[in-house]
Amino acid sequence: MGIIPDDVRAKLREPFPPEAIKPHPTKTYLSTIKAIYITERLNDVFGIGGWTLTHEIVSDSPEYVSVRGRIILNEPYDFQTLDQYGGHVKTGTNTEPADGYKSSVTDCLSKCASYLEIGIDIFKGLAAPPKTENKSFSKEPGNQKPNAPSEKQIKMVFAKMIEAKIEDKEAFCKEITSKKASSDWVYTDINLLVKKIEEYTAMQKEIDYKYVKCPDSGDKVEKDYCAETCGNRTGCPEW
């Protein structure tokens, strides 16, 4: 196997412009490089057709796909990286199965490229993280289409509202989405989130009406069951 010359290594290590860096999609405390800039760096240094990414699927489920691959450099370098892995979800908001396959390959490419020291300052944490606008979605032209809130988001907001005894659902939903840095929150459909919270509130009221907490056992039981079986109904504070 060949060795990468120092002058080529220096070209591979050159810093990327700020627009090439973005927040990690799931680990928001990390930064990552947009895949097209990695492809461009490989093309600039080795030429189009002077390199390839070989890869194969190693795990494929309805929800997630994983691939294993390596970058191979053609002559005169005769070099290949160690195997690396990439993965991505195939379902979710604005995600199709094809997106999962494509993104798992670009994820693998980025990790293989790190062995060639492409973006090394970013992976070492030496590059400044990209600035993100922290605002909730507005219907101005050019803005991203709002996403439907996930079940996890709805439950989290509802739990916080119950805990803090908040009445103004719309104001709280706007506040909490504006404080979240990830695009999953920034572009959440506020109106739909409020609607889902109202549905949860109605369901909770129905549950509260249907059940009582027994002062004797501490258990939560249905009122009908309580009325039929408990001999202490007349002295029970729930009645």
Of residues 108, 120, 43, the one with CA closest to residue 81:
108
Does 140 reside within a domain? Answer: no
Host domain of residue 26: 6-123
Q: What CATH number has the domain bearing residue 73?
A: 3.30.390.80
Does 143 reside within a domain? Answer: no
How much is the pTM? 0.52
Please say whether the beta carbons of 106 and 86 come within 8 A.
Answer: yes
Of residues 237, 137, 125, the one with CA closest to residue 193:
137
pLDDT per residue of the chain (239 residues) written in tens, 0 to 9: 678 999 999 999 998 888 888 876 666 667 788 999 999 999 999 999 999 999 999 999 988 999 999 999 998 888 999 999 999 988 877 778 888 899 999 999 999 999 999 988 887 777 655 565 544 444 444 455 666 767 777 777 767 767 767 777 677 676 666 655 444 555 566 677 777 767 767 766 655 555 566 666 666 656 555 555 565 555 555 55
Residues 6 or more apart whose CB falls under 8 angstroms from that of 231 comprise none
Please say whether the beta carbons of 21 and 33 come within 8 A.
Answer: yes
Q: Which residues are bridge partners to 84 per DSSP?
A: 69
Total of domains in the chain: 2
